């Protein structure tokens, strides 16, 4: 409708296409604050790292490698970079590669960083361990091998012979006892096996007197073990009932003969019926 001035009433204008929504400025401000905060954190971290480099790393020195050096040479090497040398004599140990009296271990290790005037602790080498051949006299080869292995040695060829007058065991060795030897060196030995073996075909002793059998075997160097007694009707006491080894067996004087022997019937046992 026209107003009093004769003009038509104003109509509301439609919103323009492409206008910025009202919430976008707040989002932009939030993104800006996040980026700004991240930049501040990055600057802080860089400043801290730079300060650490200047305060700590910048004043550190590189530890020289002292392995294999003599104590005098090691002391000169650490003094040249502003460090000190501390020898830990109680921890010295054997080593096959580093000569005696030279640096074997160090702490801090070579190439690491250390503060000026810091002490570098070193352990000296005792050199290669001196090995001496142990005395193997009278031992069996197995016992000798065990004893040699404890000294980082090994048992070599074993030669033997028979001698009735010599006890069984090692009677000679090469190298001799208490001789210096290298690690893993072989020790050759000569051992006696005592008297030669005595062998015979086992006779049949069943039905024979046990005491006579024992005396006969022991006369020729054979050993008889403790007899086992059993009651057996109709057989006189002390008669061989069983034997081991059996008759015909090739018996060695290193084996023990076992006998089962009859015993007298018990006094209180009833007499057998006829």
DSSP states of 92-113 as a string?
A: -B--SSSPTTSEEEEESPTT-E
Determine, yes or no, domain membership for 5: no
CA distances from 44 to 47, 50, 86, 120, 138 (A): 5, 10, 40, 35, 81
Give yes or no: residues 117 and 67 share one domain.
Answer: yes
Q: Which two tokens stand for residue 183?
A: 């690690």
273 belongs to a structural domain: no
Domain count, the chain: 4
pLDDT for 34-73, tens place per residue? 888 888 888 888 877 766 665 555 578 999 999 999 999 9
Tens-place pLDDT, residues 93-138: 989 899 999 999 999 999 999 988 899 999 999 998 889 999 999 9
The arithmetic mean of pLDDT across residues 245-262, rounded, is 90
71, 120: one domain:
yes
Q: Which of 184-193, 245-254, 262-271 has the lowest mean pLDDT?
A: 262-271
* CATH number reported for the structural domain that contains residue 156 in this entry: 3.30.10.20
272 lies in some domain: no
Within a 13 Å sphere around the CA of 274, how many CA atoms are in the beta-carbon half? 1
Residue 29 banded pLDDT, cuts 50, 70, 90: confident
Sort strands 228-231 and 256-263 into parallel, antiparallel or unpaired: parallel
Does residue 254 fall inside a structural domain? yes
Two structure tokens written together for 191: 């051992």
Nearest to 242 by CA among 259, 257, 226: 259
- Which domain, by its residues, includes 80? 61-124
């Amino acid at each position: 409708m026209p107003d009093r001035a004769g003009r038509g009433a104003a109509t509301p204008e439609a919103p323009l296409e492409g206008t910025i929504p009202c919430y976008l400025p707040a989002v932009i401000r939030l993104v800006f604050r996040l980026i700004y905060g991240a930049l501040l954190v990055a600057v802080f971290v860089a400043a801290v790292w730079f300060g650490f480099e200047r305060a700590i790393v910048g004043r550190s020195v590189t530890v020289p490698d002292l392995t294999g050096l003599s104590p005098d040479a090691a002391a000169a090497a650490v003094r040249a970079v502003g460090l000190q040398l501390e020898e830990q004599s109680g921890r010295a140990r054997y080593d096959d590669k580093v000569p005696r009296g030279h640096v074997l271990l160090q702490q801090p290790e070579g190439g690491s960083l250390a503060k000026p005037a810091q002490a570098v602790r070193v352990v000296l080498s005792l050199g290669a361990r001196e090995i001496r051949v142990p005395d193997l006299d009278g031992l069996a080869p197995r016992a000798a091998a065990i004893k040699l292995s404890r000294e980082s040695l090994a048992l070599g060829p074993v030669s033997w012979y028979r001698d009735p007058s010599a006890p069984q065991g090692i009677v000679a060795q090469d190298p001799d006892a208490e001789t210096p030897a290298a690690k893993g060196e072989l020790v050759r030995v000569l051992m006696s096996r005592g008297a030669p073996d005595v062998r015979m075909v086992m006779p049949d002793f069943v039905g024979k007197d046990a005491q006579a059998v024992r005396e006969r075997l022991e006369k020729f160097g054979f050993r008889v073990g403790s007899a086992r007694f059993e009651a057996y009707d109709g057989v006189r006491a002390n008669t061989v009932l069983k034997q081991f080894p059996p008759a015909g067996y090739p018996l060695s004087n290193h084996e023990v003969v076992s006998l089962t022997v009859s015993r007298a019937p018990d006094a209180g046992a009833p007499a057998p019926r006829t």
